[in-house]
Amino acid sequence: MLILGIETSCDETAVAVLDDIQGILSDIISSQLEHSQYGGVVPEIASRTHLKTILPVLEKALSAAKVSLSQLDGIAVTCGPGLVGSLLVGISVAKALHFSLAIPLIGIHHIEAHIFAAILENPELSPPFVALVVSGGHTQLIFLPAFGVYEILGSTRDDAAGEAFDKVAALLGLGYPGGPIINRLAEKGDPEFMKFPRASVKDFEFSYSGLKTAVVNYVKNSPADIVRRHLSDIAASFQEAAVDVLVEKSIQAAKHKDVEKIAVAGGVGANSRLRNLLKERAAKAGVSVFYPSPVLCTDNGAMVAKAGAFRLSLGQTSGLDLNANPRMKL
């Protein structure tokens, strides 16, 4: 069975072809560089860029997979949450293909897709498990008692983890998206240079505004040449604080639910310090951790296709009334 996966919820235009037996046949991702000068995603620019890019990306995905449209068995598309104008571009293309090819259309929740990215490369990962979802828009711990069943254990009260990386990078004048830049810079820095605060919010909730403010205050109150000289140390110290709480709470959540598996999903899941620290501390707690490879942590079409194959196997499809839902619930 061949499923096309389309993802346009934010600033990546992505299309993939997935074979349910052979796996990913193609996975084309076009990241919008247009936003870097603004330090964040500009919704109007995002939707206009998706419009320009979606058809070339679709054609590339089909030709890389050596698959023609007529061979497809289903079209999966992210329908929320995300930027409404961006979501609508992917949904419109998916609906046109669904209508003209007369094959099933499957609207997919973006976070469900991220969780399925971990399953794509780890077929042995099956529920029950705890998923740590860390992206630019979400920071959540979710318990999956079964595939497709989501019990949210806790979310961020303010900024998402990825948002904190992006804001701190902008503050340090490093560019956008900040996560990968801080990650690279931190490799050369001392994580103990500054002890930035770990948020103490209850249970499985998170908060990143205090950490962000602590970095802002440090930078404001320090001479510019000291900041410049210690950029990698500041990045490493911030990253250590940001990652530390994610690791601790993920392990606590696994213990609370009495499960031995944690799956990591979302763009911040590509962070090398998070991956190493979680693996190390989870091993001590007798818990296994499952990651998508870094390229499948950030937005992509393959994860949407994988979630689509799952929903299709349950007979859950969408009609031409499928709409973008910017605040879609899991």
Residue 186: exposed, middle, or buried by beta-carbon count in 10 A (0-12, 13-18, 19+)? buried
- Tokens representing 25 are 């046949």
DSSP summary character for residue 206: B
Q: Which does 179 bind (CB under 5 to 8 A by kind): Zn ion, ligand KG4, none?
A: ligand KG4
Q: How far is the CB of 299 from Zn ion (least distance, A)?
A: 4
Nearer to ligand KG4, 130 or 303 (CB): 303
**What is the rounded distance in angstroms from the CA atom of residue 95 to the CA atom of residue 203?**
41
Site string for ligand KG4, 93-132 (x = CB under 6 A): ----------------------------------------
Handedness of CA 255, 257, 261, 266 (dihedral sign): negative
Q: How far is the CB of 133 from ligand KG4 (least distance, A)?
A: 9
**What is the rounded distance in angstroms from the CA atom of residue 114 to the CA atom of residue 106?**
16
Cα of first residue to Cα of last residue in the chain, in angstroms, is: 26
CA–centroid distance for 276 within its chain:
18
**CA neighbours closer than 13 Å in the CB half-sphere of residue 255:** 14
Site string for ligand KG4, 248-267 (x = CB under 6 A): ------------------xx
Element (H, E) at 96: helix 84-101
For residues 275-314, which are near Zn ion according to CB under 5 A?
A: 299
Binding segment for ligand KG4 (CB under 6 A), chosen from 66-74, 119-127, 178-186, 252-260, is 178-186
Site string for Zn ion, 131-160 (x = CB under 5 A): ----x-------------------------
Nearer to ligand KG4, 97 or 169 (CB): 169
Q: How far is the CB of 29 from Zn ion (least distance, A)?
A: 12
Partnered with residue 6 across adjacent β-strands are 15, 77
Chain contacts with ligand KG4 (rule: CB under 6 A): 10, 135-137, 162, 165-166, 177-180, 183, 266-268, 270-271, 298-299
